[in-house]
Structure 1
Amino acid sequence: MTTPSDRSWVSTAIQIIEADFNRSSDTHLLRVPLSGVPGAALYLKDESTHPSGSLKHRLARSLFLYGLCNGWIGPETTIIEASSGSTAVSEAYFARMLGLRFIAVMPRSTSAEKIAQIAFYGGESHFVDSPAEMYTESARLAEALGGHYMDQFTFAERATDWRGNNNIAESIFSQMAHEEHPVPAWIVVGAGTGGTSATLGRYIRYRRLQTRLCLADPEASVFHRHLADRSVCTTSEAPSLIEGIGRPRCEPSFIPELIDEAYAVPDVASIAAARVLSRRIGRSCGGSTGTNLWAVAQIISDMAKRGERGSIVTLLCDSGERYRSTHLDDAWLNQRGIETGPAEEAMDRFFETGLFTAMTGPDARWSRS
């Protein structure tokens, strides 16, 4: 039972989170030059500028408010989360702000930079051998410690107010208002929990907009397979090297009905695209941003062939600085037999000419139409 003192603490905790939100200006929407496709305007929503450094800052804030308002989090609650990195970093940020213990359950393969950032915010890392083990181990820890398992994969889509309240969808469309093509033809996102794609897809329908939503998904992920065949809900493939997006099972927060098109993107293409984009915009991008860009290039190339004009928005999810020991390390790539040269050339050619060769088979694309 919640005591009056706990209610007072919860009230203060919500005020602290809201004050942090007030101090943080909205993330920028960057226009990316496309000399080879004058009819298309590409924009990046730069989520790396959040205080905790990634798109997951929005989710972590929503999950904490959701847990506080549901009475699940009190002044002595240990917070546990299953996360491959960025959500854990952001949740550690908010847990420290509220003076709560935080434990991230993550695969051993998580980048050293993300582990260090979790520790910087006072969080603890608890490792498992496989991403599939994170769920049960997180629940076990929460039970053993009398803590609260945040469970981003279940609660991401319901913790966020998709109608407004400065969610990412409202922010994008507000910032696009004075552009040449203010209503994007496409928004391209990845999915880890599915919360961001759910927020965007719902908002698009709620505002009666013609924007279509594209899922950029790692090849090893189950989401694009599930879109093609709803009976497929898991995959036993080796995990993707791209952290934060793609899952071995369909998560409860992923809503396939909101997706209009999907592309399966090889890891080498994601890493190559992130490297090319980093050089072209002068700021470092993580691999999931490269996944988005690979799908964007296919959409824009098809638009150009049809003579269509319009804007396309995608996300810069986090900084490449979190991957200095992995995606940005040539020795790390060589150890895994990853050669990004051909894919980088394909992406550079797209920026210069608007022509794009995806280097993937026809089954790599799914469309609702």
Structure 2
Amino acid sequence: MPDHGDAEAQSTDVRDEETPLLADQRTQSIGEGSDQNELGTPDDKRAQSRSRSWYLWRVFWALIVALIIGVFIQGWINAGGDVDFDLKKALFRALGGGLSGSAAMVLQVLLLMPLRTIMNYQYRFGTTFTTATKTLYHDGGFRRYYQGIGAALVQGPVSRFGDTAANAGILALLQSNSYLSGLPSPIKTVFASLCAAAFRMILTPIDTLKTTLQVQGARGTALLRQRIKTNGIGSLWWGAFATAAATFVGHYPWFATYNYLSEIIPEPARHPMIVWLLRLAFIGFVASIVSDSVSNSLRVVKTYRQVNDTKVGYLEAARLVVLEDGILGLFGRGLGTRILCNGLQGLLFSILWKLFLDLWDKKTQS
């Protein structure tokens, strides 16, 4: 029969695996909070840090807006009399691209949800693929891998609608101007990625619900309710800036690679179909590897902040991950799973999106 010490050790192990890392700090701070508030130093430092980050973010976005405006003004000047954009065609193209992307994403969510759940669990707790898979299965069987499927079926297709609509619509919009149509494909993709990032920020609460259910399981809903009571409805947007940054850093390399390879690799005839499909699969797989390698660290920080029951800043979240797993943990947590998952997703998406988009074009042009 195990003694009290063994039971206590087991309890500690479970707590370390399932409870957010800041829970112990929060408990300790109950007795020490009054002393720290009297000294004022930690609060002052956090306030100064927030103030600096507040200004840095606004300076960054101001520079981005100025750059975009500058490019469009230069385009109007150099285009001479051609200053018109075909908005109707661009919107129509965006709608077709968005609907095609959404349809493709529904199939991907249903097929790849288990890998996504394992990956998000790894992001939060830093375990291996095998350990995460076993832990999740013991927590609720095969259904545990589909925890949050309802939110995923909303967030996935809607966010993919924004991604693909931004790419198709912005490219069509720029193509309708004689000067801007001559911009290199990677430059055009920047504008599409910025639009996609802004759209993802709006969807952060849905992503928060989905990710929290994936990582925390059945207790995720109760955790979010308690967090809203404690920190307000705005806590659903925790991780919104990291989501936008990760979206841009993930969206831009993916679509820049996709658009670039689509231009330099000639599209073969559709007979035999296998060659045409292999080209799309190769382009999608390479685009996913490039995107994942660049954006993984931001997604680790985003997930850590997003699923925590207590408020933790981006820098603090990154610091805690580094303390736990080292610098490789920050950049490598769940990366293997992500490359596998997104490689398959990129392969499927590249084929399905193109097929659905071609069907849309044929239907609308006939």
TM-score scaled by structure 2?
A: 0.28
> Whose strand fraction is larger, Structure 1's or Structure 2's?
1
Of structures 1 and 2, the larger Rg is shown by: 2
TM-score scaled by structure 1?
A: 0.28
